[in-house]
Amino acid sequence: MRDEEGAEAAFRATPPQQRWRQAMNAYYYAFLPMLLGIAYLAAGVKKTLGHLTEELATGPALALSGGVALFLVGDVAFRRAMRLLPVRHRAVAAPVALTAAVLGIRWSAAVELVALVTVLVAMLTVEARWCTAERHGLDVARA
């Protein structure tokens, strides 16, 4: 089941008197960090595009990594509110993404961007393996 279908099913399964709270948690409180994360990431990309091989100032480096981390935190909040699995892979990836700012400050914007892409690809790969194992009834701890 895809996330959209899972969220819809979770919303329908929620008793009507609790749906307002679930909607506020999922679509308001979780959505704002996701939007802010996208905005911070975009600001970081704008500040670094012409300076990919240079060390970054703290602000642009944190905008890149912090934007990704903030988006992931919002995504985790959304998934928890809607009871979507998995959550832990994204929860672990958020602080790891934030630490990539150090790479931009010490080396270059390109190194930070590569690190962020690596964190996201690794997170999605592990998550896909977990979902496949879960779908086939395999021991998820070994997957």
pLDDT at 29: 77
Please report, as a single letter, which amino acid is at residue 10. Answer: A
pLDDT at 140: 47
pLDDT at 142: 43
Q: Give CA angle at 37 (125, 9), nearest 5°.
A: 60
The residue assigned the tokens 């990704």 is: 68
pLDDT at 85: 77
Q: With beta carbons less than 8 A apart as the criterion, state whether 87 and 80 touch.
A: yes
The residue assigned the tokens 């990309």 is: 45
pLDDT at 95: 96
Distance between terminal CA atoms of the chain?
A: 19
pLDDT in tens, the chain (143 residues): 466 565 566 666 666 766 667 666 667 777 889 999 999 999 999 988 887 888 888 999 999 999 999 999 999 988 887 777 788 899 999 999 999 999 999 999 999 999 999 999 999 999 888 877 666 665 544 43
CA distances from 68 to 9, 77, 101 (A): 28, 14, 11
Domain boundaries of the chain, sorted by first residue: 3-135
Cα separation, 58 vs 52, in Å, equals 14
pLDDT at 8: 60
pLDDT at 91: 93
pLDDT at 127: 87
Closest alpha carbon to 68 in 35, 41, 105: 41
pLDDT one-digit tens code per residue, 120-138 = 999 999 988 887 766 666 5
Tally DSSP H helices, then E strands, for the chain: 7, 0
Token pair of 21, please? Answer: 């709270």
Cα separation, 121 vs 134, in Å, equals 20
